[in-house]
Amino acid sequence: MYGVFLIYLFMNTVKRNRSPSIEKTEATKNSILKAALKKFLEVGFANTKIRDIADLAQVGVGTVYCYFKTKEDLFEGVINIMLNEEFMVVKADTLKPDQSVYEFLYKHFEQIIESIYSSGRDGISKLVIKEGQNFPQLKEIYFNKMVTPYLREFEKLATIANERKEISLTCTPAEFALLIVAPIWMGILYNGILQESESISINHIFYSNLYALFHSKVS
């Protein structure tokens, strides 16, 4: 009888000490990141407190620190969950031989904008613009993980367009890539920060700019 009791006691001790499952760990981590994104977009990076994130995620503050040592780590985690399969809408290696670079960009632009707004990346962009000077690490994380991948693809496309004589570059492909994305940044800045009550169509300024870049005699 005593032996049975010891076995029962041992089994219960094992259950209590058992580590959370991988699924539960990931679920907790994702819950924290979703809460962090919500708070960052609501009150900004500087005004977000770890306690507020923990309360929203319905976990203890200590649990948050088990996954993320600093608030900057949380921001990077938020960026990482946005880097899903739909993130890279434009990939230069998917350009068809019989398709012009202009047509390719024109076709994919709406997907780019849709992915920016559906994922919350527009809000993150505004946050970085507003608070990046005070938190340089935010700018570095955002630029390296979200901006650089797109610029590289646009740079490749600019090189291809130049080789095909679709454009005649008078600047570097990297600079031309910045000209392509400039309307997106300007649109987000204008609509979200400068003139929130009177928005402009990012689609219109992007298409107008794209046409000018590819149909002017000098690029």
Q: Are 120 and 64 members of one domain? A: no
Contact 146, 80 (CB under 8 A): no
Q: Are 50 and 128 members of one domain? A: no
Q: Are 70 and 160 members of one domain? A: no
pLDDT above 70 coverage of the chain, percent: 86
Q: Are 141 and 184 members of one domain? A: yes
Q: Are 58 and 121 members of one domain? A: no
Q: Are 146 and 50 members of one domain? A: no
Q: Are 69 and 98 members of one domain? A: no
* Model confidence pLDDT, tens digit, residues 107-146: 888 887 777 777 777 888 889 888 989 999 999 999 999 8
Q: Are 103 and 36 members of one domain? A: no
Count of residues for the chain?
219
CA 156: distance to chain centroid?
A: 21
Q: Are 50 and 118 members of one domain? A: no
Domain-embedded: residue 84: no
The domain that holds 59 is classified in CATH as 1.10.10.60
> Binning pLDDT at 50, 70 and 90, where does residue 12 land?
low
Domain-embedded: residue 82: no
> Binning pLDDT at 50, 70 and 90, where does residue 161 land?
very high
What DSSP character marks residue 48?
-
What pLDDT sits at residue 202?
Answer: 83
Domain-embedded: residue 5: no
Instruction: Give residue for tokens 């981590």.
Output: 29
SS3 annotation, 83-151: CCCCCCCCCHHHCCCCCCHHHHHHHHHHHHHHHHHHHCHHHHHHHHHHHCCCCHHHHHHHHHHHHHHHH
What pLDDT sits at residue 37?
Answer: 92
Average the pLDDT over 11-20 and give the result. 51
Domain-embedded: residue 141: yes
Total count of domains within the chain: 2
What pLDDT sits at residue 1?
Answer: 53
Q: Are 119 and 192 members of one domain? A: yes
* Model confidence pLDDT, tens digit, residues 162-214: 999 999 999 999 999 999 999 988 888 887 777 767 778 888 899 999 999 99
Q: Are 47 and 149 members of one domain? A: no
Q: Are 61 and 99 members of one domain? A: no
What pLDDT sits at residue 87?
Answer: 67
Q: Token pair of 160, please?
A: 């291809």
Domain around 39? 16-74
Residue 22's φ and ψ, nearest 5 degrees, are -60, -40
